[in-house]
Amino acid sequence: MGSTSAFSRRDLVKRTAALGLIAVPSMSVLTACATGGGSDDNSSADKGDQGKKSEKNPLGVKNGAPLDAFIFKGGLGDQYAKDAEADYKATYGAEVKHTGTQQVGPKLQPRFAGGNPPDVIDNSGADHLDMNKLSSQGQLLDLTPLLDAASPDDPKKKIRDILYPSAIEKGKHKDAFDVLYYAFTVYGTWYSQKLLSDKGWAYPKSFDDMIKLCEEIKKAGIAPWTYPGKYPYYVHFNIFPQIAKIGGLEKWIAIDNLEPNAWTSNDAVKQVIGHYEELAAKGYFLEGSQGLTHIQAQTSWTKGKAVFIPNGSWVENEATPTTPKDFGMAVGALFDGGSGDKMPHGTVRAEPSEPFIVAKAGKNPVGGMELLRIMLSKKHAQNFAQKVHSLTSNMQGAEGASLSPGLASAAKAVKDAGGNQNLLMIQLQEWYPKLTDEKMGGLTSQLLTGDLKAAEWIKKTQQYADETAKDSSVTKFHRSA
C-alpha cells in the first residue's frame, strides 16, 4: 500500500464508532476523539526550552532537547521518518524516541487527555485522531513559524515558498495552519505504457477518444476498464475531478460546499455521469469487477486483464508484488469533454496527503516543527520518493531523484498540468465521507453495473447532498472560490 490515506479510505466503510473513540474517518481528516483540554495560545512553542535562533537553526531548537516522534507505520512504512530523525539527532545532539504504529488514535487519545502527547505525530491510518477536535480544543501547535522559517536548502526561501499552495490551504483550520500534509498524491486513470505501445494504442485525450479506444480494446479480447467494486468510491477519484475539469472549479466548489442544486444544475455532471453510463452499457468493464477488492482489481490490471483503472499514486507501491518489471506504470491527465471545457487539457487531480501535526502540550514542540523542516529538505523529499514511490508537498523535492516508472509519470503529469492553477484539490470526499463513500458509492456501484441511469444517479446524489447539508450532526466546512 502506497498511501496511508488510501488505507483509511478503504477501511472506513467497515469500521463503526466504538464508544466515541474511533469514528468514520475521511482520507485524512481524522477521527479518534481526544478529550483533553487545550489553551488558545501558542505558548507551548516558547516554554523556555528554545535555543538560540540562527540561519541554520531558524526555529530555535534547544541543543540536546529530546524529541518524541509518533509515526504511522502503514503502506509508507516509517523508515523515511527514521532517516530524518537521524539527521535531527546528529544536528542537535538529542535523543529521539521513535514509535511506529498503525494505531495512532487508540494509543494517543489517552496521552492527549493526560496532557503528555508526543511532540510530532504522523496522524494517518484508519485509527487516527480527530484533528478538527484537537484544533478546536487548542491542542495543535500553529505551524505558521514553520512556514516562515528558512528552507533547509536555500535560506533565502521560506518553507511556504517551496510548498504546493494546496498544502497550505488544506492544512488550515479556520485561520490557523496546524497540519502539514507531507505527501502529494496524484489521482487519475492508470495504465501500462508497455501494453499500449505493444498494441499501438494511444492514451485518449477526450471522452470520445476513450469510447473509440474501448471498442478496439474489447475487440482485442481485453477489458478496457476494471475497478474495485467492493469500494466503488475509487471511481470517484476520477469522476469528481473530471466534473471540475469540464465544468470549472467554481462550480465544483459549490458541490464541495453542499450548495443547493450544485449537482443538478451543472451540465458537466450530466456529461461525466453519462459517459460512465455509456461505458457500462457497452460492456467496457471487466466482468465481475463489482465484486473485487482494491487488491484484486489491481492484480487483474497488472496481469493485463484490463487496460485502465482509477486510482491514486500509491498504487505503484501497493501493486508491486504483482507488477511485471517492464509494465511501465503510468497515469494520464483528465479527459477533455469538448470545446466548452472550463479547464485546459492536462488538468489533473493532485493534492496533499499524509497529515503531520505538532502537539502544543508536547515537551519539545519546536523540535517537532524542526523535524518537519528537515523532512521538507530536498534530501529527505528524494529519500521519500525513492523509498515509497510518492511525491512530497515540496514542489521541487523530487527533482534529480531516480524515480520509479509510476512516480515519474505522476511527476510528469503534475509538470504537464502547466501550473498550480490546473492541479485540482477535491474536498468533498475529505469532508463528507459518509455522503461520498457510502451513499454515493452505492449509486456509483449501480451505475457501473447498468442498474441505474445517469439521470437517477444525479437526482439521488443531489438528494443525499441536501440531506447532508441539513443534518445538524454533520460538521460543515466551507471553501472559498
301: CB partners within 8 A, 6+ apart: 190, 192, 226, 307, 308, 309, 319
What are the cell numbers at 209?
477518444
Q: How many angstroms separate the CA atoms of 364 and 94, rounded?
A: 11
Fold category of 188-349+428-470 in CATH: D-Maltodextrin-Binding Protein; domain 2 (3.40.190)
Q: Identify whether the C-beta of residue 28 lies closer than 8 Å to the C-beta of residue 337.
A: no
pLDDT, tens only, 5-32: 443 433 333 332 222 223 333 443 333 3
DSSP code for 62? P
State the CB neighbour count (10 A cutoff) for residue 150. 18
What are the cell numbers at 3?
498511501
Q: How many angstroms separate the CA atoms of 77 and 456, rounded?
A: 42
Q: If DSSP states are collapsed to H, E and C, what string results for 78-144?
A: CHHHHHHHHHHHHHHCCCEEEEEECCHHHHHHHHHHCCCCCCEEECCCCCCECHHHHHHCCCECCCH
pLDDT at residue 418, rounded to an integer = 94
pLDDT, tens only, 105-118: 999 999 999 999 99
Around 263, how many Cα atoms within 13 Å sit in the side-chain half-sphere?
Answer: 21
CATH 2.60.40.10 fits 4-185+352-414, yes or no: no
Compute the mean pLDDT over every residue in the chain, rounded to the nearest whole number: 90
Query: Can you count the helices (H) and strands (E) in the chain?
Result: 21, 12
Residue 49 pLDDT level (bands cut at 50, 70, 90): low
pLDDT at residue 243, rounded to an integer = 98
pLDDT, tens only, 402-426: 899 999 999 999 999 999 999 999 9
- Every domain of the chain and the residues it spans: 4-185+352-414, 188-349+428-470
pLDDT at residue 400, rounded to an integer = 84
- Shortest CA distance to 279 belongs to which of 194, 344, 217? 217
| Beta-ladder partners of 99 | 70
44: CB partners within 8 A, 6+ apart: 141, 360, 361, 362, 365
What are the cell numbers at 95?
535523543
pLDDT, tens only, 335-347: 999 999 999 999 9
Average pLDDT over residues 193-202: 98
Identity of residue 42: N
pLDDT at residue 24, rounded to an integer = 37
Q: Do domains 4-185+352-414 and 188-349+428-470 have the same CATH topology?
A: yes
Q: Identify whether the C-beta of residue 33 lies closer than 8 Å to the C-beta of residue 109.
A: yes
CA torsion angle 358 359 360 361 (round to 10): -150
End-to-end CA distance of the chain: 34
